[in-house]
Amino acid sequence: MITITDVTKSYGDETVLGPVTGQIAKGGVTSLVGPNGAGKSTLMTIIGRLLEPSEGSVTVGGLDVQAAKSRDLAQMMSILRQENHITARLTVRELVAFGRFPHSQGRLTDEDHRHVDLALDFLGLGPLAERFLDQLSGGQRQRAFVAMVLAQDTEYVLLDEPLNNLDMKHAVLMMRRLRDAADELGKTIVIIVHDINVAAAYSDRIIAMRDGTIAYSGTAAEIMRSDILSEVFDTPIEVHELAGRPIAVFDPMAQSVTHDAVRTDEESAVASV
Amino acid sequence: MPRLDLETPDMDAAAVAASPSRRVRFPAPHIPQLSPKARLVLVAALVVVAAACYLFLFIRGSFAFSIDRRLTMLGAMTIAAFTQGLGTVVFHTVTNNRILTPAVMGFDSLYTLMQTLMVFFFGGAALAQTEGIPKLLTQTALMVVFATILYRWLFSGRFGSLFVLLLVGVVFGMAFESLSTFVQRLLDPTDYDLLATRLFGRMSNVEAGYLPIAAAICVVVGVLLWRRRHRLDTLLLGRETATNLGVSYTRELTTMLVVIALLVALSTALVGPMTFFGFIVAILSYQFAGTHRHAYVLPMAFLLGMLTLVAGQFLLQHVVGSSGMLSVVIEFVGGILFIALLLRKGKL
């Protein structure tokens, strides 16, 4: 369980987050959604102890992330940021092997190698394992970083936009992998996703953020409503039932939240906020 | 877990071809078949050959006298290679760049300022009289204290940013430099002449009595770095990823900065300022080590430093016939390499 208590983050006089209080239950996939600047990444980096909150505290699995030993936390929780810049020239396998550091402190055992192979296979990186990162496309590199975090084999996995740079096929595969990790391995996965329909299709819970606070949270069915999404994203969004799933669509011509025209499917586009 | 084929080999090729980041910035020399260990052994063998040539060839006059003098100089070169090579590699690792060097933190300038002020206040004669281990240790301690205070202050402030630290380093360096230049203008020509000889690398006239204590410090630092080699590897991934992997980033960073301060200060106090030597050695060791791992890169930097100095000194002394110019040649070549890399990368 992740418990967030009165967390705020301010830079100077400007408060960019909070106060936020809430819980993320153990197990399953939780998606953070919301417009740009809503505080999703800030909240996630505070949970992942990469950023110190101005006020408040966060516990993950009972450990206070600011007070607990970094190494103990690293065995329980892993976090991947959006931007990952590395000066050294590493192969995919070397990068993924870094995920085992919290367990082996750099001296890899057979068990560690097994986890590395598993993570590489899990994301289909086997054929690319000996490639250097600078020889990969953006999407392949993204998968290599996710593989590193999965090799860390932690109970809690926080991913900031893991679908960055991925095409539709790989985005779907990535989400299915994460779903599998939650269902089969019992991991707690928290992700930031921009595509609300992807969030709805794969998440157990959705947390919708706006203006630095949690606006709504609930199951996909509870959040996928026209009024809620239009308010959160400040743009008219309709939710239609399609193939048994709620699908959010935006109005390409819309200027404001109030619009009345009933559009045909051809005129609407699937929301990709 | 079920395995899923996300990529066919053909798709990979297409994806790589389309990728803009495919451009390799530092094309490695083509010896990829050798393992990192074999590379180290190879370079070590070259160092032994170079050292043997330097020690035993072209001896004129008394054997004992020549060997004694050459051994002292070999010792000085060993210390310089160790401190500059390792200091620069570790600095590159913790600052996550491969262009800036410890010299940018203002160390050389501090050394220059300290020497200049000494001549200014006590006259040129004082320089000659105060040579000795206490002076070496005092200078080293002063620089480490200066560095530690600076880092402590910067990291306890509200900007925990490395860029601010680097900026402050540059500003301090420029301030020390300007102050030195100003004071030097006030010196009389004889004193200035004495001072000038101190301000270039002076490997050839290093005091033999300094070497044991400098070697002892190097051994302690070497052991410390070796024990932390894996942690250094994770620092290559940057602050956030290293933190995610359970490394206490700020603590490691501070420790490493103090180690760097110690190494660079020792080197500067012993053989004088060398701005680009560490840079050349570090850049070459990334190319030749064949891996990112500090277990190999650090020894490689030391060995390549030795090779550069010993072979360079041997060639200059016996082939070109100008033994005192080694540091000038190294700075010249290093400066060109620095500018070439900067222009090629277009950024820090």
User: Which chain B residues are Cβ-neighbours of A84 within 8 angstroms?
Assistant: 237-238, 241
Which domain, by its residues, includes A119? 85-152
Please report whether residue B19 resides in a domain: no
At residue B162, the pLDDT reads: 60
Beta-carbon separation of A123 and B6 below 8 A: yes
- Which residue of A93, A114, A137 to mutate against B (max B Cβ within 10 Å)? A137
DSSP state of A91: B
At residue B298, the pLDDT reads: 96
For residue A92, pLDDT beyond 70:
yes
Please report whether residue A257 resides in a domain: no
Q: Kindly report the length of chain B.
A: 348
Beta-carbon separation of A124 and B6 below 8 A: yes
User: Are A106 and A164 part of one and the same domain?
Assistant: no
For residue A269, pLDDT beyond 60:
no
Please report whether residue B6 resides in a domain: no
Q: Please state, in angstroms and as integers, the Cα–Cα distance from residue B71 to each residue in A3, B18, B78, B274, following that order.
A: 65, 56, 10, 21
At residue A179, the pLDDT reads: 93
Please report whether residue B16 resides in a domain: no
Residues 6+ away with beta carbon under 8 Å from B207:
B131, B132
User: Are A49 and A95 part of one and the same domain?
Assistant: no
**Longest CA–CA separation in chain B, Å:** 81
Residues 6+ away with beta carbon under 8 Å from B229:
A106, B293, B294, B295, B298
Please report whether residue B176 resides in a domain: yes
User: Are A40 and A169 part of one and the same domain?
Assistant: yes
User: Are A22 and A127 part of one and the same domain?
Assistant: no
User: Are A18 and A30 part of one and the same domain?
Assistant: yes
Average pLDDT over chain A, rounded to an integer: 87
E strand or H helix at B29: none
- Which residue of A11, A50, A93, A98 to mutate against B (max B Cβ within 10 Å)? A98
Which domain, by its residues, includes B300? 33-55+72-345
User: Are A91 and A215 part of one and the same domain?
Assistant: no
The pair of three-digit structure tokens given for residue B300, joined into one six-digit string: 């490689």
CA distance B19 to chain A (A): 5
For residue A253, pLDDT beyond 80:
no
User: Are A187 and A125 part of one and the same domain?
Assistant: no
How many of the other CB atoms lie within 10 Å of CB of B76? 24
Which residues 125-184 on chain B approach chain A with CB closer than 8 angstroms?
Answer: none
Distance (Å, whole) CA B18 – CA A112: 33
Q: What's A23's domain CATH number? A: 3.40.50.300
Please report whether residue A100 resides in a domain: yes
User: Which chain B residues are Cβ-neighbours of A126 within 8 angstroms?
Assistant: 3
Please report whether residue A205 resides in a domain: yes
Q: Is B287 on the interface with A (CB under 8 A)?
A: no
Please report whether residue B63 resides in a domain: no
Decide if A173 contacts A124 (C-beta within 8 A): yes
User: Which chain B residues are Cβ-neighbours of A122 within 8 angstroms?
Assistant: 1, 3-4
How far the first Cα of chain B sits from its last, in Å, is 43
For residue A268, pLDDT beyond 80:
no
Q: A129-133, A156-160, B195-199, B255-259 — which is least confidently predicted?
A: B195-199
Nearest by CB to B240, from A74, A81, A101: name it. A81
CA-nearest residue to A12 within chain B is: B158
For residue A264, pLDDT beyond 60:
no
Please report whether residue B4 resides in a domain: no
Q: Which one of A81-85, A125-129, B116-120 scores highest in mean pLDDT?
A: A125-129
User: Are A100 and A227 part of one and the same domain?
Assistant: no
At residue B2, the pLDDT reads: 44
Q: Is B244 on the interface with A (CB under 8 A)?
A: yes
Q: How many domains, chain B?
A: 1
**Which of the residues in chain B have pLDDT under 70?**
1-32, 124, 126-132, 136, 151-163, 165-166, 197-205, 323-324, 345-348
Q: How many domains, chain A?
A: 2
At residue B4, the pLDDT reads: 43
Distance (Å, whole) CA B221 – CA B250: 19
Nearest by CB to B3, from A121, A128, A149: name it. A121
CA distance B17 to chain A (A): 9
3-class state of residue A267 by DSSP: coil
User: Are A15 and A145 part of one and the same domain?
Assistant: no
pLDDT tens digits for range B212-240: 888 999 999 999 999 999 999 999 988 88
Q: What's B190's domain CATH number? A: 1.10.3470.10
User: Which chain B residues are Cβ-neighbours of A67 within 8 angstroms?
Assistant: none
Beta-carbon separation of A124 and B4 below 8 A: yes
Q: A94-98, A130-134, B125-129 — which is least confidently predicted?
A: B125-129
Q: Is B99 on the interface with A (CB under 8 A)?
A: no
Please report whether residue A49 resides in a domain: yes
At residue A87, the pLDDT reads: 77
At residue B1, the pLDDT reads: 42
CA distance B246 to chain A (A): 4
CA-nearest residue to A106 within chain B is: B230
Please report whether residue A260 resides in a domain: no
Residues 6+ away with beta carbon under 8 Å from B149:
none
Between B125 and A12, the more confident residue is A12
User: Which chain A residues are Cβ-neighbours of B234 within 8 angstroms?
Assistant: 98, 101, 106
Please report whether residue A251 resides in a domain: no
Distance (Å, whole) CA A27 – CA B125: 76
Residues 6+ away with beta carbon under 8 Å from B148:
B257, B258, B261
Beta-carbon separation of B6 and A98 below 8 A: no
Distance (Å, whole) CA A231 – CA A227: 6
User: Are A208 and A91 part of one and the same domain?
Assistant: no
Beta-carbon separation of B245 and A98 below 8 A: yes
Residues 6+ away with beta carbon under 8 Å from A27:
A182, A186, A187, A188, A204
- Rounded to the nearest angstrom, the gap between the alpha carbon of residue A170 and the centroid of all alpha carbons in its chain is 15
Q: How confident is the model at residue A103 (pLDDT cuts 50, 70, 90)?
A: very high
CA-nearest residue to A173 within chain B is: B6
- Which residue of A83, A134, A145 to mutate against B (max B Cβ within 10 Å)? A134
User: Are A110 and A215 part of one and the same domain?
Assistant: no
Q: Is B254 on the interface with A (CB under 8 A)?
A: no
How many beta-carbon pairs under 8 angstroms link A with B?
119
| Residue keyed to tokens 């590489």 | A120
Nearest by CB to B22, from A79, A135, A185: name it. A135
Q: Is B92 on the interface with A (CB under 8 A)?
A: yes
User: Are A12 and A69 part of one and the same domain?
Assistant: yes
